[in-house]
Amino acid sequence: MKFALSPEQTQFADTLDALLAKSDVARSWAAGDHEPGMAVWRQLADLGVTSIAQDGEPIDLVVAMESIGFHALPGPAIETLAVLPDHLGGALLGTVAIPPHVPYAVDADVADRVFVLRGGILHTASAGKRINSVDPCRSLFEVTATTEIGQLPDAFERGVLACSAQLLGVGRALLAKSVEYVKQRTQFGKPIGSFQAVKHHLASVHVALELARPLVYGAALNAVPVSAAKITAGDAAHKAARSALQVHGAIGYTVENDLSLWLSKVRALHSAWGTGSVHRAHVATTLPRTTNLYSQPATAT
């Protein structure tokens, strides 16, 4: 099976990239100034992005989340676009906690509607104590259920898919920034990007991301377990983050460098919506059982 975007989906991706490339709202969001970011979200709503799960195809959601990850757009994107579109009632942003794997609601201080999903039943919720995140653009809040709404099937799976696509976009951005940097940084009178070791280092990141891509898009089409997509996208993004730090050197560790915006997002999303061990265990339970040939008694031939 060939996973390729249609001309309409390619145009959609280009439109999102053009819009989000002009926005630089992550630092203001982290500082507590949410208005520039909210303005971008209102533009996305005008384009129909916030209703993409209702009006589009599953691949459209992946395209949107990958672009959001690439440009490090802050806000409860997974919750708004993938999990809650049927329950926002025209509100711009929504957030939800789904214990135990999603114990806190992201950005409940700016979301128009806050929910909690327990035992497959969705409830409205009130935000409580704020919990610090490794990502300064990502605020976490304890929530308390208030009013029962009804069942919300497959919410966790949709969130995992959106998180996988966002990780793929973040990983792509880190690779792009690394490639750009190694062309500029010189050592021994040459750009470090000309060194074979650096080329191989970044090529392995590219391979990891390209191997993750068909799994993410395949999960959107129900051709691949969504847990497999989360594992591969998370590992690929983590590999991109480690490589970005290595090629940037000490400057990559500084908060002042924009690289930190994507590095911290990988750290947060890698374990969000289920850790790697959780999803590996789920994949293991879905694999068909095979006979262990080494446990069979030997026979003469």
Kindly state the average pLDDT of the residues 222-232. Answer: 95
pTM, rounded to two decimals: 0.92
pLDDT in tens, 140-151: 999 999 999 999
User: Is residue 169 assigned to a domain?
Assistant: yes
What is the number of domains present in the chain?
1
CATH number at residue 275: 1.20.140.10
Classify burial at 267, counting beta carbons within 10 Å of its beta carbon; exposed 0-12, middle 13-18, buried 19 or more.
middle
**CA separation for the pair 169, 65 (Å, rounded):** 7
Phi, psi of 5 (to 5 degrees): -75, 145
Residue predicted with more confidence, 89 or 3: 89
273 close to 78: Cβ distance less than 8 angstroms = yes
Task: Please provide the average confidence, as pLDDT, over all residues in the chain.
Answer: 92
**Is 90 exceeded by the pLDDT of residue 53?**
no
**CA separation for the pair 259, 208 (Å, rounded):** 20
pLDDT attached to residue 299: 40
User: Is residue 64 assigned to a domain?
Assistant: no
User: Is residue 109 assigned to a domain?
Assistant: no
Beta strand spans in 156-222 (E): 186-187, 190-191
The model's confidence at residue 1, banded by pLDDT at 50, 70 and 90, is: low
pLDDT attached to residue 2: 60
**Residues of the domain holding 167:** 156-286
User: Is residue 142 assigned to a domain?
Assistant: no
pLDDT in tens, 155-187: 999 999 999 999 999 999 999 999 999 998 888
Kindly state the average pLDDT of the residues 46-61. Answer: 90
132 close to 104: Cβ distance less than 8 angstroms = no
The model's confidence at residue 300, banded by pLDDT at 50, 70 and 90, is: very low
User: Is residue 149 assigned to a domain?
Assistant: no
User: Is residue 73 assigned to a domain?
Assistant: no
User: Is residue 212 assigned to a domain?
Assistant: yes
User: Is residue 265 assigned to a domain?
Assistant: yes
